[in-house]
């Protein structure tokens, strides 16, 4: 058996190389005109001779193993030899056999693939794209090799950990190695590029030639790069020696999925082991056939949603997240219910969708302590998800559904509204209120320089919301926002008491709603085109001169309100390490709200029955609005209104 084991195993690698060499020669011969048929037949015969040799050896191994007692010292050697032979023979038919679900390992057991996924690994501060395979007994991290010379898909093993040895790093250990963040500006610039390329593809669809292929390849490259730089949530695993590996993912949902499936499988894995170099190579080669995910997840051929999603809830607390350009973002958070196992939310949220296809719901159990970097420490009780169906955009009715997860049922309703319809500026018929009324009329009535609603909301947020993660980005409860809106419109004297009892995200949502419903944007319709043209100037001196002069040209109530809000947003950004709201994040939230022109001046299509797609001018217009506000947020100092008359040196020309 010892000699036979060597006889069978050692030639296998050389046989594989020999087989590939003969196949290449066969292809060359077949390409030549007038090739000799006998030569072709002899090459084919030569190709299968070594395979027949392994086949006969495998049959002999079967007979030997059948007549060798299990307690005999040669029994494990025969098992290994038979397993390697079987794996080699199964790899011969890789092109014509269906995808395998498992491969044979020692003792005749099957190593089954449970899950595989493309993930971003953090290696010495650099982001690397990996293909991670979770088997029934080990976790394998591989790199997809570049295909050259007509070779098929191949993987290079970077590392593996037996499941019995896998541990997850604790919070304290994770804090010692922070995740490098990619600037939001860089990701948004990439989104603009993707938008432009998709727009070009739409125009070139008539011509299905090389131009379209080149654009699709360019789009694939840009989307792959975006998916590489976008995840920022750490998922850390270690082996028994303490060696740690860090993956970056975009969602707590996804991280919990991996933890659950590994922990469940660990209950069946009791022993550690190590693979020989040959076994590791055989395992890596088998990944090509076993893989279920063949490409990096992109959005090229997917139908996306660009609209507003209204959600209504009927444990403890829940968060809602949707995907945007391939990665997930937290969009809303319910109230925290205490001392009950059957909370009744009955809350409503308004969520903006940007190329979204999936809605995820996570239920948490509240933990008192909080991490210094703002990452959630609360324990996930349950999770679930639903697919967002684009045809649902055509319906105006609420769609009711139930998400069942870990014995918990969450009832919710959804309704889609196209973007341009939900963001349409609607002047109020009731001029005695504040929402939908020109800002100059409100300040004149109140005998104030800044509307009372702006001052009260800012004061309450600065009192208890400066360290709230995602302040202004996370949606507040729509019913609370509408209650505050009604109170401000009615000049209710108890509005301060109402605000003190509400979630701070609802107050932030009320402030955003006020600016969004102004009949004319804070930056005015008249100056909108000048601001968007001024921000595009390449000369920094000319840009500053133009932008400051345009700002000081605003009506006094608009200017003073903006400067008041600007100072507040800068103070919010000072707590970025905790609340995760940078200048760019704040500009993304408030830019369209403060600058988006009224309907008569908007470039956005006016057909509310059709969803907005990336091929429209929407994304480019929004990016311009974001850049205007970002510019003022990044300016160290802005002249006060008193110096307005002394600023004639600034040019009014764009």
Least confident of 259-263, 407-411, 457-461, 526-530: 407-411
Please check whether residue 163 is in contact with residue 139, taking contact to mean a CB–CB distance below 8 angstroms: yes
Residue 632 CA to residue 590 CA, distance in Å, equals 12
Kindly state the helix (H) or strand (E) to which residue 98 belongs, with its residue range.
none
Residue 189 has pLDDT above 80, yes or no: no
Predicted confidence band of residue 648 (pLDDT cuts 50, 70, 90) = very low
Classify strands 155-162 and 399-405 as parallel, antiparallel or unpaired.
unpaired
Split at pLDDT 50, 70, 90, the class of 349 is confident
Tokens 């600034």 locate to 650
Q: Between these two residues, 411 and 9, which has the higher pLDDT value?
A: 411
Confidence of residue 604 (pLDDT cuts 50, 70, 90): very low
Q: Angle at the Cα of 245 (from 267 to 253), degrees rounded to 5?
A: 65
- Dist. CA 459–CA 480, nearest whole Å: 18
| Token couple for 13 | 């690698």
Query: Over the stretch 555-579, which tens digit does the pLDDT of each residue have?
Result: 999 999 999 999 999 999 999 989 8
Instruction: Quick: pLDDT tens for 465-489.
Output: 999 988 998 888 888 899 999 999 9
What's the pLDDT score for residue 101? 56
* Residue 392's pLDDT band (cuts 50, 70, 90): low
Which helix (H) or strand (E) is 367 found in, with range? Answer: none
Q: What does the pLDDT look like over 67-102, one tens digit per residue? A: 888 888 888 888 878 777 777 766 665 444 444 556
Mean pLDDT of 15-25: 56
Residue 461: half-sphere exposure toward Cβ, Cα within 13 Å: 28
d(CA 610, CA 614): 13
Segment 27-46, tens digit of pLDDT = 555 544 444 555 445 666 66
Residues in the chain: 654
Spatial separation of the C-alpha atoms in residues 424 and 556, rounded to whole Å = 25
Beta bridge partners of 331: none
C-alpha–C-alpha distance, residues 8 and 19, integer Å: 16
Q: What is the reported pLDDT for 323?
A: 80
Q: How far is CA 220 from CA 248, 292, 301, 618, in A?
A: 21, 20, 11, 22
Question: Exposure pattern of 430-460 as b/e (b: 16+ CB <10 Å)?
Answer: eeebbbbbbbeebbeeeeeebbbbbbbbbeb
Task: Please give the C-alpha separations between residue 457 and each of 45, 481, 508, 628, in angstroms, as whole numbers.
Answer: 83, 12, 7, 23
d(CA 141, CA 161): 9
CA–CA distance, 89 with 584 (Å, rounded to integer): 57
Q: What is the DSSP letter of 251?
A: -
Q: Tell me: pLDDT of 427 over 90.
A: no
* Adjacent-strand bridge partners of 404: 409
- pTM > 0.75: yes or no: no
CA distance 547 to 654: 9
Nearest-angstrom CA–CA distance, 114 and 134: 6
Q: Which tops the pLDDT comparison, 263 or 308?
A: 263
SS3 label, residue 274? coil
Phi, psi angles (nearest 5°) of residue 637:
-145, 145
The full 3-state SS of 378-445, as one line of letters, equals CEEEEEEEEECCHHHHHCCCCEEEEEEECCEEEEEEEEEEEHHHHCCCCCCCCCCCCCCCCHHHHHHH
DSSP designation for 177: S
Cβ–Cβ < 8 Å for 503, 332 = no
Q: How many CB atoms lie within 10 A of CB 638?
A: 17
């Amino acid at each position: 058996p010892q000699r036979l084991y060597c006889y069978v195993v050692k030639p296998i690698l050389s046989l594989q190389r020999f087989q590939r060499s003969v196949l290449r020669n066969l292809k060359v011969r077949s390409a030549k005109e007038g090739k000799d048929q006998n030569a072709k037949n002899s090459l084919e015969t030569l190709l299968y001779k070594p395979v027949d040799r392994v086949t006969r050896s495998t049959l002999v191994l079967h007979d030997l193993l059948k007549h060798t007692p299990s307690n005999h010292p040669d029994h494990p050697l025969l098992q290994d030899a038979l397993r390697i032979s079987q794996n080699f023979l199964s790899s011969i038919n890789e092109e014509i056999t269906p995808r395998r679900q498992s491969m044979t390992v020692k003792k005749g057991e099957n190593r089954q693939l449970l899950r595989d996924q493309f993930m971003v690994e953090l290696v010495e501060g650099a982001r690397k794209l990996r293909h991670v395979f979770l088997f029934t007994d080990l976790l394998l991290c591989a790199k997809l090799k570049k295909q050259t010379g007509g070779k098929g898909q191949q993987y290079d093993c970077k590392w593996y950990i037996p499941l019995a040895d896998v541990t997850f790093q604790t919070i304290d250990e994770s804090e010692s190695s922070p995740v490098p963040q990619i600037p939001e500006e860089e990701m948004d610039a990439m989104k603009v590029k993707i938008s432009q390329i998709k727009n070009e593809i739409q125009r070139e669809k008539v011509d299905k030639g090389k131009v379209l292929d080149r654009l699709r390849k360019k789009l694939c490259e840009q989307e792959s790069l975006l998916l590489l730089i976008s995840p920022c949530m750490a998922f850390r695993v270690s082996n028994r020696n303490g060696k740690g590996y860090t993956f970056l993912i975009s969602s707590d949902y996804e991280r919990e999925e991996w933890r659950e499936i590994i922990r469940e499988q660990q209950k069946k894995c009791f022993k550690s082991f190590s693979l020989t170099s040959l076994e590791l190579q055989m395992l890596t080669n088998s990944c090509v056939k076993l893989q279920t995910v063949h490409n990096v997840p992109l959005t090229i051929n997917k139908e996306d949603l660009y609209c507003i999603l209204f959600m209504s809830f009927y444990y403890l607390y829940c968060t809602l997240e949707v995907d945007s350009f391939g990665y997930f973002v937290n969009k809303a958070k319910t109230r925290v219910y205490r001392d009950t196992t059957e909370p009744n939310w009955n809350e409503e949220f308004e969520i903006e969708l940007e190329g979204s296809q999936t809605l995820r719901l996570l239920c948490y159990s509240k933990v008192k302590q909080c991490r210094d970097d703002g990452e959630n420490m609360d324990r996930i009780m349950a999770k679930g998800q639903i697919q967002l169906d684009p045809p649902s955009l055509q319906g105006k009715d609420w769609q009711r559904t139930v998400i069942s997860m870990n014995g918990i049922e969450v009832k919710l309703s959804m309704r889609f509204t196209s973007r341009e319809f939900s963001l349409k500026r609607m002047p109020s018929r009731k001029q005695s209120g504040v929402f939908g009324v020109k800002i100059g009329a409100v300040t004149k009535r109140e005998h104030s320089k800044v509307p009372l609603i702006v001052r009260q909301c800012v004061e309450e947020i600065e009192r208890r919301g400066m360290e709230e993660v995602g302040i202004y980005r996370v949606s507040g409860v729509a019913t609370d926002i509408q209650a505050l809106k009604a109170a401000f419109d009615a000049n209710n004297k108890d509005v301060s008491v109402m605000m003190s009892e509400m979630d701070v995200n609802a107050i932030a949502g009320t402030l955003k709603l006020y600016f969004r419903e102004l009949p004319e944007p804070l930056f005015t319709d008249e100056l909108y085109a000048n601001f968007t043209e001024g921000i595009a100037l390449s000369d920094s001196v000319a840009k500053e001169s133009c932008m400051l002069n345009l700002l000081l040209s605003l009506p006094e109530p608009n200017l003073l309100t903006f400067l008041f809000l600007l100072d507040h947003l800068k103070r919010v950004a000072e707590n970025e390490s905790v609340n995760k709201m940078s200048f760019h994040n704040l500009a993304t939230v408030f830019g369209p709200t403060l600058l988006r022109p009224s309907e008569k001046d908007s470039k956005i299509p006016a057909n509310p029955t059709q969803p907005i797609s990336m091929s429209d001018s929407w994304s480019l217009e929004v990016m311009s609005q974001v850049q205007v506000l970002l510019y003022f947020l990044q300016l160290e100092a802005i002249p006060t209104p008193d110096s307005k008359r002394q600023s004639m040196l600034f040019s009014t020309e764009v």
